[in-house]
């Protein structure tokens, strides 16, 4: 079932932190630093702060993200997965809630080039589907033939709202967000149809 679904895909969009790379971001520490309660998205919390407090809170988040970019490492199998998709002429993109400069630094350090990279400045942050729909328009491909791969519920909710296949990357087999996914993978080898491995 998953094999047939994946074989029909014409393009793949990826989340960055926790999906393609491990930046070892301590989200609890970030939440505490900006005063964000558990269960609330950090960006959404900051957007609800008084205007004169938002810049300082964003600066805290950016500082953590930049530190994460400096230490980011590939998730197992992610680099070879991207290489094989490129070799198969499957377009790939990255949509992240990180600042674009953070994502660009991460990709530069790891030697990654993608056709399209969207950060939080480029579209409403996930779980809004705006960034995914923007990429689909840029590629001129139907959303039903695209997939978004991510490790968190915001990724899967965005994919569902966009009408794309939501692929949950769950390397530790937690099953935490599996109910929101169309496909669950535990390693990037599972992402590629047999003919493209």
Q: Which tokens go with 128?
A: 């809004």
Would you state the pLDDT for residue 3? 44
Q: Where in the chain is the domain with CATH 3.40.50.1000?
A: 2-22+73-196
Among 21, 37, 26, 30, residue whose Cα is nearest residue 58: 30
Provide φ and ψ at 23, rounded to 5°. Answer: -95, 0
Say which CATH topology domain 27-71 has.
434 Repressor (Amino-terminal Domain) (1.10.260)
Provide φ and ψ at 127, rounded to 5°. Answer: -85, 5
CA quadruple 137, 143, 148, 154: dihedral sign: positive
Q: Where in the chain is the domain with CATH 1.10.260?
A: 27-71
pTM (whole model) above 0.75: yes
- CATH 3.40.50.1000, applies to 2-22+73-196: yes
What is the per-residue pLDDT across 150-186, written as a single tens digit (0 to 9) for each? 999 999 999 999 999 999 999 999 999 999 999 999 9
Would you state the pLDDT for residue 1? 35
What is the per-residue pLDDT across 61-98, written as a single tens digit (0 to 9) for each? 999 999 999 999 999 999 999 999 999 899 999 999 99
Angle at 12 between CA 8 and CA 18, to 5 degrees: 135
Would you state the pLDDT for residue 69? 93
In a 3-state reduction of DSSP, which class is residue 150?
Answer: strand
Q: For the ranges 17-26, 147-156, 188-197, which has the lowest average pLDDT?
A: 188-197
């Amino acid at each position: 079932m998953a094999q047939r679904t994946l074989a029909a895909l014409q393009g793949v969009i990826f989340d960055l932190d926790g999906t393609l790379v491990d930046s070892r971001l301590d989200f609890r520490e970030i939440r505490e630093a900006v005063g964000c309660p558990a269960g609330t998205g950090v960006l959404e919390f900051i957007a609800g702060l008084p205007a004169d407090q938002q810049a300082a809170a964003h600066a805290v988040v950016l500082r953590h993200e930049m530190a994460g970019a400096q230490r980011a490492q590939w998730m197992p199998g992610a680099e070879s997965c991207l290489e094989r998709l490129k070799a198969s002429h499957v377009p790939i993109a990255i949509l992240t809630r990180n600042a674009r400069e953070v994502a660009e630094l991460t990709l530069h350090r790891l030697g990654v080039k993608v056709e399209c990279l969207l950060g939080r400045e480029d579209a409403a942050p996930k779980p809004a589907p705006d960034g995914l729909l923007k990429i689909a328009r840029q590629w001129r491909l139907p959303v039903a033939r695209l997939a978004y791969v991510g490790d968190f519920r915001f990724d899967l909710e965005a994919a569902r709202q966009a009408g794309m296949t939501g692929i949950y990357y769950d390397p530790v087999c937690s099953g935490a967000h599996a109910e929101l996914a169309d496909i669950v993978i535990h390693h990037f080898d599972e992402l590629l149809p047999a003919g493209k491995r």
